[in-house]
Amino acid sequence: MSVGDIIEVDYCVIGGGSAGCVVAARLSEDARNSVLVLEAGPRDWHPFIHIPATCLKLQQDGRFNWLDQTEPQMHADGRSLKISQGRVLGGSGSINGMLHVRLQRADAEGWNTTGWSYEELLPFLTKAEDFEGESAEPRGRGGPQPVADFRVVHPLTRSFVEAAQALGIPHNPDMNGGEREGAALFQQNRRGRFRAQPAQTYLREARARPNLSVLTGARAARILFTGKRASGVVFLRDGRERRVSVRREIIVSAGSLRSPQILQLSGVGDPEHLLQAGIAPLHAATGVGRNLRDHFMTRVGHRVHGIGTINERTRGLSIVKEALAYAMKGTGMLTMGAGAAAVFLRTRPDAPAPDAQLSFAPGSFASAGVLEREPGMTIGGWPSPAASQGTVMLRSPDPHAAPAIDPNYLSAEGDRAATIACVRTIRSLFAQTPLSRWSKGETFPGSAVSTDDEILAFARERGTSGLHFTGTCRMGDDDMSVVDSRLRVRGVRGLRVIDASVMPNTPIGNAHSSVVMVAEKGAAMVLEDAATQ
């Protein structure tokens, strides 16, 4: 269907990222529903999108990435941090590290929202999964989203798990089972040798349906209202402004940084802020763009001897050998994503659940996305869930202008204390024989950094975004919540938000699996509500 043919649809999904792909696929299963997806970025055409290890390249590529930057961070040395968020069909699911870390009971209890208990979410977690391994815990089989163990486990990764056990941290054979605590190997969203993201696993087959249209290069400019009912969308494509009328619902699935921006551009938000930005307020919703949460990672690196790492496998003849192994057998370094294994632990004796994540990689980074030349290994840690709260606000009424993104990293005392505890635990892990026997010494932060104040100063100077933004259209029933427990924007009709922005906080772990779960549950709610109207 050409863009000129699309005049009116039942459902318009703004954003073709992971959540939008799931929602569109589920809504279009009913042939009576006409569904349109508007995605600002291009198709997921590039080969690097489908090769696991090349995610680091994609996260620096402006063709598939918004390449945002934060506002100067008051509690992080005044730095403006680079942010990688997908601007391509499949969204961040097309460029992320492919790590599958499922929502836990403690996450649902922390969200404390009617209809979102762990027991009520588990069916959607398993519905999405197609788990290839074995587990005694409830895992999904036959769902759209493949979940697999790593094809290649580096010897240093096994040493990391052994070091954790030497430190008294138990081995967890399945981090996505009933409990998260302990040391475990990551699992991937991978089918065979290729990335398995919702653009492929949900949307690719669905696009053959005559009732589903997907427009790439289509940037939503604002939502149109008839009174208090959302009735259409203005979007920009090929340099022209276009409109689509919507009979049933508009679903905003543009992610935690763009969903609040679209609402604000449409006049839904804090009236005082909207007026300052040059937008006429239509509906007062003070919580839009507030409660931004993200993981903040601080890394410790070691130089390695006596064993190879992925650093030197990315250059010269070695990368040629790796490419051949991947092409011929689907094995080798190129099947790996961003991380390899993790420890989930409690940094406080009174913590009711793990409140920090430590992630291991058998490599080390000179800068974002660039591996060092000499052999190295890294462990990064972050407080989880995040306590620091920030904002996403308009800079101008221009839909092309990036919003002002202020995560307010390390503003909460709990995050600062947990960050210090993370670094100290990481150093204890590196001191255990399974890892120390391979180490030539700590390269960063280094021996000059030892006191709590020095560790915190290093985190402020070198810490980075975990890229797990949530919370800016938070669900709930209080005055600051943007959507209700059925993800409907409170106070208006025909408008929902279904993506990471509705989560009240970051999950205890990587966020992508939780985004897919929210989209599965949100789509089911849309269909349930339509059936009763």
Q: What is the DSSP secondary-structure string of 57-109? A: HHTT-TTSB--EEPPP-TTTTT---EE--B-STTGGGGTS--B-----HHHHH
Q: State whether 106 and 171 are in the same domain.
A: no
Q: State whether 260 and 394 are in the same domain.
A: yes
Query: For residue 156, is it within any domain?
Result: yes
The enclosing domain of 61 has a CATH number of 3.50.50.60
Q: What is the pLDDT of residues 238-281, one digit of tens each?
A: 999 999 999 999 999 999 999 999 999 999 999 999 999 999 99
Q: Which of 462, 482, 497 lies at the terminal end of a domain, its last residue?
A: 462
State the Cα–Cα distance between residues 213 and 207, nearest whole angstrom: 7
Query: For residue 190, is it within any domain?
Result: no
pLDDT of 29? 98
Q: What is the pLDDT of residues 141-168, one digit of tens each?
A: 999 999 999 998 999 999 999 999 999 9
Q: State whether 81 and 125 are in the same domain.
A: yes
Q: Which residues pair with 310 in a beta bridge?
A: none
pLDDT of 5? 57
Q: State whether 400 and 511 are in the same domain.
A: yes
Q: State whether 68 and 171 are in the same domain.
A: no
**Residue 368: band (very low, low, confident or very high) from pLDDT cuts 50, 70, 90:** low
Q: What is the pLDDT of residues 389-422, one digit of tens each?
A: 999 999 999 999 999 999 999 999 999 999 999 9
pLDDT of 315? 78
User: Given a cut of 90, is residue 6 above it in pLDDT?
Assistant: no
Q: State whether 3 and 118 are in the same domain.
A: yes
Q: State whether 371 and 445 are in the same domain.
A: yes
pLDDT of 292? 99
Q: State whether 73 and 91 are in the same domain.
A: yes
State the Cα–Cα distance between residues 160 and 302, nearest whole angstrom: 13
- Distances in Å between the alpha carbon of 196 and those of 130, 179, 191, 510? 11, 25, 6, 16
Rg of the chain over Cα atoms, rounded to whole angstroms, equals 22
SS3 of 472-529: the string is CCCECCCCCCCECCCCEECCCECEEECCHHHCCCCCCCCCHHHHHHHHHHHHHHHHHH
Q: Is the dihedral of CA 191, 196, 201, 205 positive or negative?
A: negative
Q: What is the pLDDT of residues 300-315, one digit of tens each?
A: 999 999 999 988 877 7
Interhelix angle 155-166/413-431, rounded to 10 degrees, is 110
Query: For residue 35, is it within any domain?
Result: yes
Interhelix angle 18-27/512-532, rounded to 10 degrees, is 30
pLDDT of 334? 84
Q: Which of 428, 462, 496 lies at the terminal end of a domain, its last residue?
A: 462
Q: What is the pLDDT of residues 180-203, one digit of tens each?
A: 899 999 999 999 999 999 999 999
User: Do residues 81 and 69 touch, judged by C-beta distance below 8 A?
Assistant: yes
Query: For residue 12, is it within any domain?
Result: yes
pLDDT of 328? 86
State the Cα–Cα distance between residues 220 and 255, nearest whole angstrom: 13
User: Given a cut of 80, is residue 2 above it in pLDDT?
Assistant: no
Name, in order, each residue with C-beta under 8 angstroms of 315's C-beta and a sequence gap of 6 or more: 373
Q: Which of 420, 435, 462 lies at the terminal end of a domain, its last residue?
A: 462
Q: Which residue among 46, 154, 468, 512 is the active-site one?
A: 468
Q: What is the pLDDT of residues 76-105, one digit of tens each?
A: 999 999 999 999 999 999 999 999 999 999
Q: State whether 326 and 432 are in the same domain.
A: yes
Domain that holds residue 326: 151-185+296-383+412-462
Query: For residue 72, is it within any domain?
Result: yes
With the CA atoms of 415, 467, 292 and 118 taken in that order, what torsion angle do they form, in degrees rounded to the nearest 10?
-80
User: Do residues 44 and 20 touch, judged by C-beta distance below 8 A?
Assistant: no
State the Cα–Cα distance between residues 38 and 179, nearest whole angstrom: 38
Interhelix angle 413-431/452-462, rounded to 10 degrees, is 100
**Matching residue, tokens 């970051």:** 506
Query: For residue 517, is it within any domain?
Result: yes
Computed over every residue of the chain, the mean pLDDT equals: 95
State the Cα–Cα distance between residues 487 and 167, nearest whole angstrom: 43
Q: State whether 125 and 178 are in the same domain.
A: no
Q: Which residues pair with 370 in a beta bridge?
A: 367
User: Given a cut of 80, is residue 50 above it in pLDDT?
Assistant: yes
Q: pTM to 2 decimals?
A: 0.96
Number of folded domains that form the chain:
2
Q: What is the pLDDT of residues 209-224, one digit of tens each?
A: 999 999 999 999 999 9
pLDDT of 56? 81
pLDDT of 283? 98
Query: For residue 416, is it within any domain?
Result: yes
User: Given a cut of 70, is residue 19 above it in pLDDT?
Assistant: yes
**Residue 136: band (very low, low, confident or very high) from pLDDT cuts 50, 70, 90:** low
User: Given a cut of 90, is residue 340 above it in pLDDT?
Assistant: yes
Query: For residue 227, is it within any domain?
Result: yes
- Distances in Å between the alpha carbon of 489 and those of 221, 344, 358, 403, 440? 18, 34, 36, 20, 55
pLDDT of 345? 96
Whether 468 is catalytic is yes
The enclosing domain of 167 has a CATH number of 3.30.410.40
Q: State whether 134 and 241 are in the same domain.
A: yes
Q: State whether 368 and 397 are in the same domain.
A: no
